[in-house]
């Protein structure tokens, strides 16, 4: 039986730890989070966070609950609640290692009684979720995929992306833990209530200073993105949601809280058709990088889009 414990989100939330063995830096775990007393039957959705992030999206859980879906958050290994002393935050040299905790989480949900599963992946979590759904395409592990601003390509013009990929192929193998980028996240800083934003998340798990990007991790991302570029074969419905425009991530950008300032939405639009057989793209004007953390109107539009998509999935896959 799965043991659940009180969670940092408060008395209405609980979590369980998924043991993943250990590596040279110590024990590896993932953390599955759910609302206390939420239904353990019917359809469920699994939220997979991005880089410099963790699960705190209780308002998304509320919106999905009204639509008949139970939302679970998954903090991946070395991230958020799952990071242990001595571990580099979000560190991996192969994004497919996250498939293990996705498999384990899906198994927990199935054993509880959930009969359908949607994975909701944000940014790097969207890349992870898409690749997992592709690898599990011949199983019944997942019934739908929702991608919230998925990171499907490196930023910048094609020649810069090509140069970056060539450099990573060398540095990522020889010195995988070398820091190749270190800068604050104006986007994350603006979201927090301390800077006048709407969200009171734990800045130890989502620091405004950002998380240093290391060569081995970025090489792992690039390899997964190359797989997307070649074309995936996700066989269940896929919804890709993006902002309506991209802009600079500088603190002085007057539209910092009204557009995508981390990735390039044009990359998402170009690569979305390569994800699978049934892909829908929805553009949310005024949305930020994590569309669920946008201002009121775009956030509500995003949540309506997601719940409407999931409702169609539920009706199409209803058992019996």
pLDDT at 315: 85
Gap between the Cα atoms of 307 and 224, Å rounded: 28
Q: Quickly state the pLDDT bin for 125 (edges 50, 70, 90).
A: very high
Q: Quickly state the pLDDT bin for 101 (edges 50, 70, 90).
A: very high
- In degrees, rounded to 5, the angle at the alpha carbon of residue 91 between the alpha carbons of residues 79 and 190 is 55
Element (H, E) at 231: none
- The pTM assigned to this predicted structure is 0.95
Q: Quickly state the pLDDT bin for 318 (edges 50, 70, 90).
A: low
Element (H, E) at 195: none
R_g over Cα of the chain: 18
Answer whether residue 121 shows pLDDT above 50. Answer: yes
The torsion region of residue 284 among left (phi > 0), alpha (psi -120 to 50) and beta comes to beta
pLDDT at 249: 85
Answer whether residue 320 shows pLDDT above 50. Answer: no
The answer to whether 215 touches 60, Cβ cutoff 8 Å, is: no
Sign of the torsion formed by the C-alpha atoms of 116, 120, 121 and 127: positive
- What tens digit of pLDDT does each residue of 164-181 get? 666 777 787 889 999 988
Mean pLDDT of the chain: 93
Answer whether residue 159 shows pLDDT above 50. Answer: no
pLDDT at 173: 83
- What tens digit of pLDDT does each residue of 228-255 get? 999 999 999 999 999 999 998 888 888 8
């Amino acid at each position: 039986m799965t043991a659940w414990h009180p969670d940092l989100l408060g008395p209405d939330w609980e979590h369980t730890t998924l043991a993943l063995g250990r590596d040279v830096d110590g024990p590896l775990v993932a953390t599955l989070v759910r609302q206390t007393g939420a239904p353990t039957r019917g359809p469920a959705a699994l939220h997979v966070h991005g880089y410099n992030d963790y699960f705190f999206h209780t308002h998304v859980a509320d919106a999905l609950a009204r639509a008949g879906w139970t939302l679970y958050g998954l903090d991946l290994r070395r991230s958020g609640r799952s990071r242990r002393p001595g571990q580099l935050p979000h560190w991996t040299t192969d994004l497919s290692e996250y498939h293990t905790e996705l498999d384990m989480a899906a198994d927990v949900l199935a054993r509880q009684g959930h009969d359908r599963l949607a994975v909701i992946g944000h940014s790097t979590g969207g890349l992870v979720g898409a690749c997992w759904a592709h690898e599990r395409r011949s199983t019944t592990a997942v019934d739908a995929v929702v991608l919230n601003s998925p990171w499907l390509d490196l930023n910048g013009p094609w020649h810069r992306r090509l140069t970056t990929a060539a450099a990573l192929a060398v540095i990522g193998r020889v010195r995988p833990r070398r820091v190749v980028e270190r800068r604050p996240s104006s986007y994350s800083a603006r979201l927090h209530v301390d800077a006048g934003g709407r969200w009171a998340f734990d800045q130890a798990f989502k620091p405004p200073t950002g998380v240093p990007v290391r060569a081995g991790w970025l090489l792992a991302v690039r390899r997964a993105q190359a797989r997307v570029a070649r074309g995936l074969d996700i066989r269940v419905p896929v919804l890709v949601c993006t902002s309506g425009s991209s802009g600079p991530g500088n603190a002085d950008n007057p539209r910092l809280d009204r557009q995508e300032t981390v990735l390039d939405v044009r990359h998402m639009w170009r690569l979305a058709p390569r994800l699978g057989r049934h892909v829908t793209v929805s553009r949310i004007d005024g949305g930020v990088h994590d569309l669920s953390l946008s201002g009121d109107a775009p956030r509500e539009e995003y949540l309506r889009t997601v719940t409407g998509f999931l409702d169609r999935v539920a009706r199409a896959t209803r058992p019996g």
